[in-house]
Amino acid sequence: MSTTSKLVLVTGATAGIGRMTAIHLAKQGHRVIATGRKPAELAKVKLEAAGLSLETVLLDVTSQASIAAAVAEVDRISKGRGLDVLVNNAGFGILGPTSEITDADMRRQYETNVFGLMNVTRAFLPKMRERRAGRIINVSSVGGRITLPYFGVYNSTKYAVESLSDALRYELRPFGIDVALIEPGVIRTNFEATAVSGLEQFASTPYALAMRKYENMSKTADRFASNPIVIARAIARAVNAGRPSARYVAPRSTNMIIWMSALLPTRMWDWMMRKVGFLTPKALDLSGSPVTHDRQPIDVSVVKRTSAEAHAPAN
Ligand SMILES: NC(=O)c1ccc[n+]([C@@H]2O[C@H](COP(=O)([O-])OP(=O)(O)OC[C@H]3O[C@@H](n4cnc5c(N)ncnc54)[C@H](OP(=O)(O)O)[C@@H]3O)[C@@H](O)[C@H]2O)c1
């Protein structure tokens, strides 16, 4: 149970970490606004939180109209006071060889994870600034600190979230607004299923075989994944702290990989990442000889002639 009840809005609360967080915070006595883009899922969250102070509001973070409508709803709920805490959680990951991911998919990834997060933040910030109080909690990832093979595009969105959050933390502090980052490790949610759902589009790329091996390996990795309650608790710590930390890594064991990436020489780290991603000539089945573009012997007479012509006096 928290010391003070706060009005907290959670984006992407229809599944996984966001859903668990919304219910966990409501159980702690906070007044929660669980948001998402699927009305049927929001209704289930409301049912699960029966008896708790939890309301639901439709919010697609990629739509300005949807954001404006959600701000109006929050104004109504809070009687014009605005939010105490905004939890920017909505996000997803695209998995695939970085060079082969289409421009459209890359933009789609940034629209939600980066521009969506910033647009929602901009929309709820004015009331916090007016009151000189508030808190923004951004769900990043351990992938905002290290880059994994095939997660280059997703990881780059989380690196962006890390940098934007650092700058917001400096810039909003004078207004009494705190900014905290949550950096989850591997968590058992729909995230992995969404990430692997588009893998067939890489079947005709040079990475097809390695991607298949990686997909099989990622299925077995599920048993190392943590329950989303671990992240809900980390978010609750950031909500309830007098002054939140800049970063919450959860579960704690995830720190190990961050330290390793900082301590290992780059060549050793790269070798490990290539092993993880099956990025060896053998695993990629690069047994055929590479295409060579043999140099053609230079026709010296042409060069001589051209040079002589160039130096001939003009008529
Ligand atoms: N699971 C992990 O291992 C892990 C690790 C590190 C970081 N994270 C981060 O944790 C956050 C939550 O992911 P999760 O693991 O809980 O995955 P999840 O189970 O797939 O849940 C993602 C949530 O985000 C919502 N969402 C996606 N696009 C949205 C949009 N445009 N507008 C509003 N909501 C949207 C989804 O709603 P729909 O059902 O409508 O799509 C869903 O409610 C993400 O930011 C993710 O990057 C996850």
pLDDT at 2: 45
**CA 263 → CA 148, 246, 257, 266, 267, distances in Å?**
16, 22, 10, 9, 12
Taking the CA of residue 143 as reference, the ligand 1 atom at the shortest distance is 6
Taking the CA of residue 62 as reference, the ligand 1 atom at the shortest distance is 31
Q: Is the pLDDT of residue 214 over 90?
A: no
Average pLDDT over the chain reads 93
Catalytic residue among 154, 159, 214, 248: 154
Give residue-wise pLDDT tens across range 258-305. Answer: 999 999 999 999 999 999 999 998 888 888 777 777 666 666 665 555
Q: Is the pLDDT of residue 125 over 50?
A: yes
Distance 12 CA to ligand 1 centre (A): 6
Give residue-wise pLDDT tens across range 55-68. Answer: 999 999 999 999 99
Percent of the chain with pLDDT over 70: 92
CB 41 within 8 A of CB 253: no
Cβ neighbours of residue 1 closer than 8 Å, sequence gap 6 or more: 28, 29
CB atoms within 10 A of CB 237: 14
CB 137 within 8 A of CB 247: no
Domain segments of the chain as ranges: 7-276
Distance 229 CA to ligand 1 centre (A): 14
Give residue-wise pLDDT tens across range 199-208. Answer: 999 999 999 9
Least confident stretch, 25-29, 139-143, 246-250, 284-288:
284-288
154 given a catalytic annotation: yes
Q: 7-276 belongs to which homologous superfamily?
A: NAD(P)-binding Rossmann-like Domain (3.40.50.720)
Pairing verdict, β 31-36 and 54-58? parallel
Give residue-wise pLDDT tens across range 137-150. Answer: 999 999 999 999 99
Taking the CA of residue 154 as reference, the ligand 1 atom at the shortest distance is 47
Question: Mean pLDDT throughout 122-130?
Answer: 98
Instruction: Report the Cα–Cα distance between both ends of the chain, in Å, rounded.
Output: 97
pLDDT at 315: 44
